[in-house]
């Protein structure tokens, strides 16, 4: 059941994404990323210990199964960002070093990989981009009292909400679903759309939370949700959902799902009925690999995401990162790659703020205190309530005649409140 919940997104993405194995073979063995470097001379005022030891980030991730389509781009971007920091002298003179072990998405291997990385001296544990699949590794990180980071988990589960008090050590650089949904609502409000249909996929907590957040924030901004539909990817109800949605007229449609046959059927079916209502989606529908073959069917789609991979991102630093990934043969196809680089920025900032010390609890306290921290992905924030990112400027990607492009940026005033 768990595999099915993420397979629709991951397997289809894998058709469009060629992700390098980041130096690992299929046997799940350990590798050291090209960011490894011996420690340089410590800057004045830091300890002798810090001057001799690198900051080791141990990555227990998938490099051979369906999650490699998410873990791979994030790690590739992270390595590039780490090298940039190292070339500038490191963090208080300490170099950032990645050690990577392929989990193959097997729970026993995931746990043993995390244990091996901890034994190899990892100061920070880096885990796969799905909280369920990452749990065996996360639990090791929490047991070992290490700062435990995921580059792109998009729910509020990466923290105390799921892991209790020990979860204070766990963070994700993915966008909080409550914030992403609020960004969709802000976009709809800014466009002057007064009513909305909401269509959500029950397959994932993420897709449900994003649409719930959209509805909450949209009505807070003065809009009205006139109709709601739900389905579960692959349950053969999508034609009914198309018919119901077409009959419920509104200014916009919020669609929260993942790539797969159902989303293409929904968009094509709706457009085939002559319905040209704007469709607003979260990051999970970034990229152009899932779009219907008919270019007219994909018109009037708005996606909020981390970055534009279409050669027009407004931030030169993001475009430079994309160019560096392309040079390595790892061109990203969605904006999610940038969270890997942002995770390195956040780790470096926490270590620097902590005087070069990598104590897990102290670094976690630094993370919770981050408010508008500058990263390559924009300014990010955490809190004691939310251990996934909120406060980014979202890129809005539009589709016209099958071509996707950056249109504008949007930022909600605050995450939606789903506690009620």
- DSSP per residue, 87-118: HTTTBTTBPEEEEEEE-TT-HHHHHHHHHHHH
Query: What's the CATH code, domain 178-310+394-410?
Result: 3.40.50.2300
CA dist 215 and 53 (Å) reads 49
- The residue written with tokens 């289809």 in the block is 12
CA dist 368 and 107 (Å) reads 29
Phi and psi at residue 360, to the nearest 5° = -60, -50
Q: Give yes or no for residue 333 having a pLDDT over 60.
A: yes
pLDDT in the model for residue 270 = 95
pLDDT in the model for residue 34 = 40
For residue 52, name the pLDDT band (cuts at 50, 70, 90). Answer: low
How long is the chain? Answer: 420
Q: How far is CA 214 from CA 149, 224, 276, 380, in A?
A: 26, 11, 20, 20
The answer to pTM > 0.95 is no
Check if 2-176+315-389 and 178-310+394-410 are the same fold.
Answer: yes
pLDDT in the model for residue 420 = 67
Selected residue with higher pLDDT from 105 and 46? 105
**Extents of the domains making up the chain:** 2-176+315-389, 178-310+394-410
**Which listed CATH number (3.40.50.2300, 3.40.50.300, 3.40.1400.10, 3.30.160.40) goes with 2-176+315-389?**
3.40.50.2300
Q: Where are the alpha helices (DSSP H) in 273-415?
A: 316-327, 338-353, 360-369
Q: Give yes or no for residue 8 having a pLDDT over 80.
A: no
Q: How far is CA 52 from CA 42, 57, 92, 94, 99, in A?
A: 8, 16, 11, 7, 17
Min mean pLDDT across 1-10, 173-182, 345-354, 367-376 is at 1-10
Tokens of 210: 């994003």
pLDDT in the model for residue 111 = 98
pLDDT in the model for residue 9 = 45
pLDDT in the model for residue 294 = 79
Residues 391-411 have pLDDT tens digits of 999 999 999 888 999 999 999
């Amino acid at each position: 059941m768990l595999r099915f919940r993420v397979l629709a997104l991951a397997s289809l993405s894998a058709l469009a994404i060629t992700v390098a194995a980041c130096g690992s073979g299929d046997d799940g063995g350990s590798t050291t990323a090209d960011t490894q470097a011996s420690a340089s001379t410590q800057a004045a005022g830091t300890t002798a210990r810090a001057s001799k030891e690198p900051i080791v980030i141990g990555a227990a991730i998938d490099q051979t199964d369906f999650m490699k389509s998410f873990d791979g781009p994030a790690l590739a971007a992270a390595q590039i960002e780490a090298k940039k920091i190292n070339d500038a002298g490191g963090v208080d003179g300490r170099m950032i070093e990645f050690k990577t072990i392929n989990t193959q998405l097997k729970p026993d291997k995931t746990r043993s990989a995390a244990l091996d990385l901890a034994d190899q001296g990892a100061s920070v544990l880096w885990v796969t981009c799905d909280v369920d699949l990452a749990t065996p590794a996360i639990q090791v990180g929490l047991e070992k009292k290490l700062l435990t980071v995921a580059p792109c988990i998009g729910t509020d589960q990466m923290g105390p909400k799921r892991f209790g008090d020990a979860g204070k050590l766990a963070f994700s650089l993915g966008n909080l679903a409550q914030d992403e949904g609020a960004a969709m609502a802000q976009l709809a409000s800014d466009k002057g759309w007064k009513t909305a249909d909401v269509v959500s996929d029950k397959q994932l907590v993420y897709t449900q939370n994003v649409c719930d957040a959209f509805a909450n924030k949209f009505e807070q901004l003065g809009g009205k949700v006139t109709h709601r539909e739900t389905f579960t990817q692959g349950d053969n109800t999508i034609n009914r959902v198309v018919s119901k949605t077409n009959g419920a007229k509104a200014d916009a449609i919020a669609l929260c799902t993942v790539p797969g046959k159902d989303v293409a059927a929904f968009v094509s079916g709706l457009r085939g009925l002559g319905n040209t209502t704007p469709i607003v989606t979260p990051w999970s529908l970034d990229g152009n690999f899932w779009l219907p073959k008919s270019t007219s069917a994909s018109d009037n789609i708005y996606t909020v995401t981390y970055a534009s991979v279409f050669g027009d991102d407004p931030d030169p630093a993001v475009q430079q990162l994309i160019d560096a990934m392309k040079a390595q043969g790892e061109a990203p196809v969605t904006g999610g790659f940038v969270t890997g680089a942002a995770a390195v920025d956040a780790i470096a900032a926490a270590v620097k703020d902590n005087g070069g010390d990598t104590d897990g609890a102290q670094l976690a306290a630094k993370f919770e205190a981050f408010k508008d921290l500058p990263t390559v992905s924009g300014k990010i924030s955490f809190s004691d309530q939310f251990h996934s990112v909120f406060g980014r400027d979202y890129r809005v990607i539009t589709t016209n005649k099958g071509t996707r492009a950056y249109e504008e940026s949007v930022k909600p005033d605050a995450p939606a409140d789903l506690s009620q």
